[in-house]
Amino acid sequence: MSKGKVLFIGSNATRIEVQGGWGATGQYLNETVVPAMAVIAAGYEVVLATPDGTKPHIDPVSDAVQHFEGDAAAYDRAKAFWANDPAMNQVRTLRSVIDEGLDQYLGVFFPGGQAPVADLMQNEDVGEILRHFHDRAKPTALLCHGPIAIAAAMPRARAFRAALIAGDHGKAADLAKDWPYAGYRMTVFSKTEEKVVEDHILHAKMYFDMPTALHAAGGRVETTATDFEPNVVVDRELITGQNPRSDHPIAARFVEALDRRLATA
């Protein structure tokens, strides 16, 4: 018998604005399946939802054994889980999940890849979901680029994102007033880590980096001195992981938070 439901929120984005055009994007395989498998192994039921109710697109760059520390068996298990497990294939729309009631969910998790920068951070349904979990102090975990999705909890998230793209950080800060996560400690994919992606994968520059965006919103952003070292920051109900290699650590902290929540429910 399941201990309870946990919501996983995926992106439907397949491309992202870059300076001079568009780049291909998606959700990272390991950042999705490693936490999902850990949550299921701990006895919880995972419900995957996206804005339009279709399965997220996996960024091909993440579909590689290197993102599983070179462990071919772990990579094969992850691929099979993503392809075949009902939790990854019975995808709901965000709106249907909201309409059926968010009270039934103990926690929420957002994987990364750059895709959340394109859609989730400005999605009104994401904002409604986040405010529900924040108001009730339910575990809210976000990994790599995923933490940018918490911008959706502000009243004018779409305008906030547009100000960032325009390079007007002062306007962005004004638009972020009354953001529920202002003053929270958090981490996210760092500016120097992003440069690696820009130089070697996108071959173009992003319009804004994640730490600058969350700092403009009022977050207390902490990133590691060494790129791609695992890093997880916990502040109240918010659990954030910095990069793809933070997949196992954030999964463990998220499960611990779910267990604590269940014990006090």
pLDDT the model gives residue 173: 97
* CATH class, 5-264 region: alpha beta
| Per-residue tokens: 113 | 């890849």
* Domain ranges for the chain: 5-264
Q: What does the pLDDT read at residue 83? A: 98
CA separation for the pair 57, 11 (Å, rounded): 8
Instruction: Provide the 3-class DSSP secondary structure of residue 18.
Output: strand
pLDDT the model gives residue 265: 79
Q: Is 218 in contact with 182 (CB distance < 8 Å)?
A: yes
Q: How confident is the model at residue 155, as a pLDDT?
A: 95
Beta bridge partners of 49: 9, 92
Q: Give whole-number Cα distances, 166 to 53, 171, 194, 208, in Å.
A: 30, 10, 19, 9
Using the structure block, give the residue that is written with the tokens 């502000």: 154
> In this predicted model, what pLDDT tens digit does every residue of 160-176 receive, in sequence order?
999 999 999 999 999 99
**Inter-axis angle of helices 29-41 and 72-84, nearest 10:** 80
Q: Which residues of the chain have pLDDT under 70?
A: none
The two tokens of residue 162 are 């547009």
CA 84 distance to own-chain centroid = 22
Placement of tokens 């068996």 in the chain = 73
Structure-block tokens of residue 75: 């990579």
